[in-house]
Amino acid sequence: MAGANDRHSVRRPSIDDVAKLAGVSRQTVSNVLNGRKDYFSTQTQTRVVAAMEALSYKPNRAAQTLRSRRSMQIGYHMSGEELETVKGFTLSFLQALIKAAARRGYQILVFTHTDEDPLSVFTELTTRGTIDALIISESQVDDPRVRLLARGTLPFVSFGRLAPDLPQQWVDIDNAHGMAMLMDYLVAKAYGRFAYVGAEGDEYWKRERLHGFRRGLDRHGLEVRDEDVFEGSGDAIRDHVRRMLSRRQRPDAIVTSSDSIAAVVVNIGHSLGLRAGRDIAVTGFDGGAMGLITEPTITSVRIPLEKVAGELIDRCQAEIDAGPTGRPGVLVPTEIFQGGSA
């Protein structure tokens, strides 16, 4: 009987409990939850978020919805291709986005399109009122989804840069700078014969990563042979890497444009009796889950997904609260993750 009474006496933590633990007022907690940045400092936000996590506090979405007349949902668009070939990076990003949204009392609603007109789902979303804002990724600079959204009133933000004549509602990373930083790291470890293996395509981030590789070589007075720069996909990458690693005069460091390609290089090297980090250096770009499941783990340019997700949600919140802000896009700095492969 006592056990039953104990169970019934357990209550969910309240906003007052969060305020008490964080040493702030109830209104301050409310301001943090609703993203009213003019009313609290970064230090205060950190204390409130820590208190929420310590207490496992979950905002009352029903009450928030009634008070604000908002759905408390932010949409996130994934293409059909992303759903069919779910990558570790995509899953890590989605997890970071869900956590960042939850801190603001929001849920993430993932949707895709299945028909021949990918824009039809965006037209429907902007008129139904089921979400308060929208986040898109895998964006093109001149993205037709953004052009459609820019004509409406639904707040949105893009993970990826946008054309100058579009609203600069984007968050991105500096791919070229991140890759150049990685080259500094490799040169400091006395690597000198480099090769580059990247994914084919004309997306700006692919061009930037190759540019950063070349820029990093230039500032150290190093060169790379044309035949040691390769962009392709699938079997073409595997065949090229196998030939390169089988040469008598092979590179001592292979820089790749993604952790998934780096994993291919590590595996092919292993099949040839070469261990990454000992016989040859291999690096990636993403710093996500893919690079952690290889042996050794992959040294990589890490995209700080928690910071990216936080910026995306903050920008959504600002537009939900006040309408178009006219703010410029923001670049989030990358980091070097030091694995065992280089």
What is the mean pLDDT of the segment spanning 110-128?
Answer: 72
Mean pLDDT lowest for which of 64-73, 94-103, 187-196, 304-313? 64-73
What are residue 333's DSSP bridge partners?
none
Ramachandran area for residue 323 (φ above 0: left; ψ -120 to 50: alpha; else beta): left
**Residue 115 DSSP one-character state:** S
Helices (H), ranges, the chain: 2-9, 15-22, 26-33, 42-55, 61-68, 80-84, 88-102, 120-128, 144-150, 175-188, 204-218, 234-246, 259-271, 305-322
Mean residue pLDDT of the chain comes to: 86
Amino acid at 56: S
Mean pLDDT lowest for which of 108-117, 246-255, 333-342? 108-117
Tell me how far CA of residue 195 lies from CA of 63, 68, 175, 261, 313, in angstroms: 57, 55, 18, 13, 38
pLDDT for residue 54: 87
pLDDT for residue 116: 65
Q: Are strands 281-286 and 253-256 parallel, antiparallel or unpaired?
A: parallel
pLDDT band at 2 (very low <50, low <70, confident <90, very high): very low
Amino acid at 189: K
The total of other beta-carbon atoms located within 10 Å of residue 333's CB is: 12
pLDDT tens track for 162-209 = 989 888 999 999 999 999 999 999 999 999 999 999 999 988 999 999
Q: Does the pLDDT at position 66 exceed 50?
A: no
pTM of the entire structure?
0.75
Q: What angle do CA 36, 38, 43 make, to 5 degrees?
A: 90
Task: Round to whole Å and give the CA distance between 90 and 77.
Answer: 12
pLDDT for residue 9: 45
